[in-house]
Amino acid sequence: MKLANLWLLCPILFCVSCDPFTWVLGGTAVVGSTAVRNQEGVSGSISDTELQAKINNILFSSDKDIFDRVELAIKHGIVVVIGYMKDEAQCKKTMQIIRNIEGCKDAYDETAVQDMPDISNFALDTSITSRIKSSFSFDGNVHSMNYDVTTVRGVVYICGTAQSKYERDVVLNHARTTSGVEKVFSYVKINKNKDENNS
């Protein structure tokens, strides 16, 4: 069950947070990052928080059923939409809504027509997400604040910006070798402002 009631009772989480929280939705654990300087700067992290709040608000206002069925991974304006929809029309409507939201630089469709995840998957998904984020933090080759990790049913979705192809490969290797991970989907972009000759 999605935490829609908590969202209604605690709008402050959406309005003033600078992303220092673990965002839990419908059996999914999405570990956010603190608002520290990364390759996008402080404003990059804050804008992701504002974008997430905006998307959730618009989805909730326009179609409560879609809101309940959607999970989001967001980093540097990259939005990965993970949804368990009742039909193809709902998948299409979801992506149309999100792609038209200001601040969304790219939106990737990971929606599908299938049953929503069972709450029993939550503990394992949370553990996987936490272990992956920890592995990023302890690896000197990874700028951990530049990534968002979302796990659903053992499937990991990573979005963000790597400083080089090498860093991206290290990030994906950490995720793929984490116990319990079934599959990894990467939406990691390479920072074009960095010298890729070192990757």
CB 70 within 8 A of CB 150: no
Domain borders along the chain are: 18-113, 119-198
DSSP 175-186: HHTSTT--EEEE
Q: Which fold has domain 18-113?
A: Histidine-containing Protein; Chain: A; (3.30.1340)
State whether residue 198 is helix, strand or coil: helix
User: Which of the four pLDDT bands, split at 50, 70 and 90, describes residue 193?
Assistant: confident
pLDDT on residue 119: 77
DSSP 4-36: HHHHHH-THHHHH--S-SEEEETTEEEE---S-
The overall pTM is greater than 0.75: no
Domains 18-113 and 119-198 share a fold: yes
The pLDDT tens digits of the residues spanning 45-78 come to: 558 999 999 999 999 999 999 999 999 999 999 9
User: Which of the four pLDDT bands, split at 50, 70 and 90, describes residue 155?
Assistant: very high
CATH number for domain 119-198, candidates 2.60.40, 3.40.50, 3.10.450, 3.30.1340: 3.30.1340
State whether residue 126 is helix, strand or coil: helix
Radius of gyration from C-alpha coordinates of the chain = 16
User: Between 46 and 191, whose confidence is greater?
Assistant: 191
CB 19 within 8 A of CB 62: no
